[in-house]
Structure 1
Amino acid sequence: MSRKTILTCAVTGNLMTPDISPNLPVTPAQIAEQALDAAKAGASIVHLHVRNLETAKGSMDLALYRELVERIREKNEDVILNLTTGEGGRFVPSKGDPKIADAGSTLCAPEKRVAHVEALKPEICTLDFNTMWSGQASVINTPWNLEAMAERIYAAGVKPEIEIFDSGDLHMVKDFVARGIIKTPLMVQMVLGVRFGAVANPATMAYLVSQLPQGTEWAAFGIGRMAFPMLAQAFLLGGHVRIGMEDTAFISKGEHCKSNAQLVEKGVSIIDSLGGSIASADEARSILGITPR
């Protein structure tokens, strides 16, 4: 396969916990250090969340994002930054009255979910198209909220990475394209293996790929034990890949990973063993149509 493969490292996420993954980075300094090491190991994109310093749960705090971006850029101006906008979409229905939010709900106005993107202007940010049950909460991304977020993302000069968790999400993406809300060519990330979402297997990935609009640059990843099998599968189907401690706590069966860099190194080794080669950050920009800043 002649085309180079973009490897994204998802450094920390919002649902993985230090109890499950003992080496999970939590503070901006820890996240930045692991992002920088992941870039040295071969990641051309680092996908970034921030976490509350007291609870270690996901956060939308602009000050934390600013510190994280500044720490990375102080030492590496080349790696592509991809900031999440997934925070702020969770709703936990109260058992006594399900229309009332219970503890753990983060659902908020779309403007708040993209405020850090507008302020910091990364090259890429995520835009999640899923509405589904996830863990102990429902994730809600209404079409009108997504329209508002997309408008602000494009106005900030940022490329959205469209996140899909099942086939219905892709149908909505196509509707957004038809109405001119999302611009082509698309950058799509397929999330496989989330409970009650798309199953992490070759048949599911192949089906989703077959339904993508022509010219789409896509990647896919698996959750947990399917992280590395789906990395290999995405490459074999002609896509890009993702790995990181947001997605898996283990480097091999029963062995916790030491760092994101260790996961990236294994991912690079798999691509290399299958006859591929990893794109540099500048090569990734060229593939994705991103103008260097």
Structure 2
Amino acid sequence: MTHPTIITCAVTGSGLTPSMSPHLPWRPQDIVDQSVGAAEAGAAILHLHARDPKDGRPTNDIGPWREIVTGIRERSDAIVNMSASRGATADERVSAVLELRPEIATVIVGSMNYGRFAKATDQKAGEFTHAWERDLLAGADVREVVTSNTFGKIGRMIDILIDADIAMEFECYDVGHLHILDHHLSTRTVRRPLIIQFLTGILGGITSHIDHLVHLRQTVDRLFGRDCAVFTHGTGTGNMRAAISGALMGTHLRVGQEDNLFERDGVLFASNAAQVEKIRRILGDLNFRHAEVSEARRILSLGGAAAA
């Protein structure tokens, strides 16, 4: 092993809902508390989404975002990674990012049919407290959802974040997205190493099978060389296996309540920290070492801690 393995914790996300688990954080203070707990357990990066404090629906409003990011920075030196996935335009998607200036912002680099109805099945959700949850996962148009990440939006987001000097994590749901990223980077200079996240296991994208993970890794090496920091995670109950498969290929990894709520059939994870502790235990049993925050900053060339 040439480097320690960076653990990202995806704390809450926008696809799983409060009715699925009492341990899914959605109020800003709960997101802060679980983020700090995950960092104390060994996560060097906190991947964040914002939620409406009234009912837990996903939002890009600056109020919840500010409460979350400021609260984490006051209590932890972990690397803050803000998702920039909500909004009709590129400028809307990065609005909160530009206001709060995290060390990393996430850019999704491709569109796809998004079978989010499968998440309800995978996470065993049958009853919903809030109408928005039912509409999201079982509404009349749930089989008509296409995530819109066009060449124009992607290029605009990359240009904005280059100008703002904010590092980017490029989320790839399928192998074709790597070729889309290659197209955009052929005419742009971005920070190195490239931070690439293999987001696998969502119906509509690539699965978490090991042969697909290997193909993704080989494609990254062919297109971008080894000057990349690659992360692997799976969606649903196979997320731990996907993460460890990534580690065995030499990538970093991601776990967290955004991606999966169940430790095993019928048993919910009690927190994000519990997921980080489990993956650390498995890594240790395989003689891998997790990266401390300072090491993750060095590996990703992020410099010192961001100012609060």
Do the structures match in fold with TM over 0.5? yes
- Aligned partners of 1:225 and 1:69: how far apart in 2? 28
- Aligned partners of 2:172 and 2:246: how far apart in 1? 15
- Aligned partners of 2:187 and 2:57: how far apart in 1? 36
- Aligned partners of 1:182 and 1:169: how far apart in 2? 17
What corresponds to 1:287 in structure 2? 299
| Matching residue within 150, 158, 166 for 1:158 | 166
Residue 22 of structure 1: how far off its partner (Å): 2.3
What corresponds to 1:186 in structure 2? 194
The yes-or-no answer on 1:80 pairing with 2:79 is yes
- Aligned partners of 2:203 and 2:179: how far apart in 1? 20
What corresponds to 1:247 in structure 2? 259
Structure 1 residues 253, 161: CA separation in 2 closer, same or farther (over 3 Å shift)?
Answer: same
Which residue identity does 1:119 align to in structure 2?
A: E
Summarize the alignment of residues 231-246 of structure 1 with structure 2, pairs less than 5 Å apart. Answer: 231-246=243-258
What corresponds to 1:112 in structure 2? 92
- Aligned partners of 1:129 and 1:18: how far apart in 2? 28
Summarize the alignment of residues 64-143 of structure 1 with structure 2, pairs less than 5 Å apart. Answer: 64-76=64-76, 78-88=77-87, 108-134=88-114, 135=116, 136=142, 137-143=145-151
Which residue identity does 1:86 align to in structure 2?
A: S
| Matching residue within 225, 229, 236 for 1:224 | 236
Which residue identity does 2:147 align to in structure 1?
A: V
Aligned 8 A contact 1:123 1:159 in 2: yes
Which residue identity does 1:69 align to in structure 2?
A: V
Residue 184 of structure 1: how far off its partner (Å): 4.1
Q: Secondary structure at the match of 1:194?
A: coil
Residue 234 of structure 1: how far off its partner (Å): 0.5
Residue 2 of structure 1: how far off its partner (Å): 3.9
- Aligned partners of 2:27 and 2:287: how far apart in 1? 37
| Matching residue within 179, 182, 189 for 1:174 | 182
Aligned 8 A contact 2:13 2:257 in 1: yes
Q: Secondary structure at the match of 2:105?
A: strand
Aligned 8 A contact 1:15 1:57 in 2: no
Residue 36 of structure 1: how far off its partner (Å): 0.2
- Per-residue CA deviation, residues 90-134 of structure 1 (Å, 9 max, x unaligned), is xxxxxxxxxxxxxxxxxx121011011111111001000120111
Which residue identity does 1:66 align to in structure 2?
A: R
Which residue identity does 1:118 align to in structure 2?
A: L
Aligned 8 A contact 1:177 1:183 in 2: no
What corresponds to 1:63 in structure 2? 63
Which residue identity does 1:289 align to in structure 2?
A: S
The yes-or-no answer on 1:42 pairing with 2:42 is yes
TM-score (structure 1 length as normaliser): 0.91
- Aligned partners of 1:71 and 1:216: how far apart in 2? 30
Aligned 8 A contact 1:7 1:241 in 2: yes
TM-score (structure 2 length as normaliser): 0.86
Residue 182 of structure 1: how far off its partner (Å): 4.5
Residue 183 of structure 1: how far off its partner (Å): 4.6
- Aligned partners of 1:190 and 1:115: how far apart in 2? 25
Which residue identity does 1:223 align to in structure 2?
A: T
What corresponds to 2:275 in structure 1? 263
Aligned 8 A contact 2:110 2:173 in 1: yes
What corresponds to 2:219 in structure 1? 211
Q: How many residues are treated as equivalent by the alignment?
A: 273
- Aligned partners of 2:233 and 2:104: how far apart in 1? 18
What corresponds to 1:98 in structure 2? none
- Per-residue CA deviation, residues 158-184 of structure 1 (Å, 9 max, x unaligned), is 100000000111110111121226454
Which residue identity does 1:87 align to in structure 2?
A: R
Aligned 8 A contact 1:223 1:247 in 2: yes
Residue 55 of structure 1: how far off its partner (Å): 3.1
The CA RMSD over aligned residues, in Å, is 1.2
- Aligned partners of 1:166 and 1:21: how far apart in 2? 28
Q: Secondary structure at the match of 1:36?
A: helix
- Per-residue CA deviation, residues 28-56 of structure 1 (Å, 9 max, x unaligned), is 10000000000000000000101112331
Q: Secondary structure at the match of 1:33?
A: helix
- Aligned partners of 2:185 and 2:157: how far apart in 1? 15
Q: Percent identity?
A: 33
- Aligned partners of 2:199 and 2:70: how far apart in 1? 29
Aligned 8 A contact 1:177 1:184 in 2: no
Aligned 8 A contact 2:237 2:263 in 1: no
| Matching residue within 183, 202, 207 for 2:210 | 202
- Aligned partners of 1:32 and 1:184: how far apart in 2? 29
Q: Secondary structure at the match of 2:274?
A: helix
Structure 2 alignment gaps of length 5 or more: 117-141
- Aligned partners of 2:260 and 2:97: how far apart in 1? 26
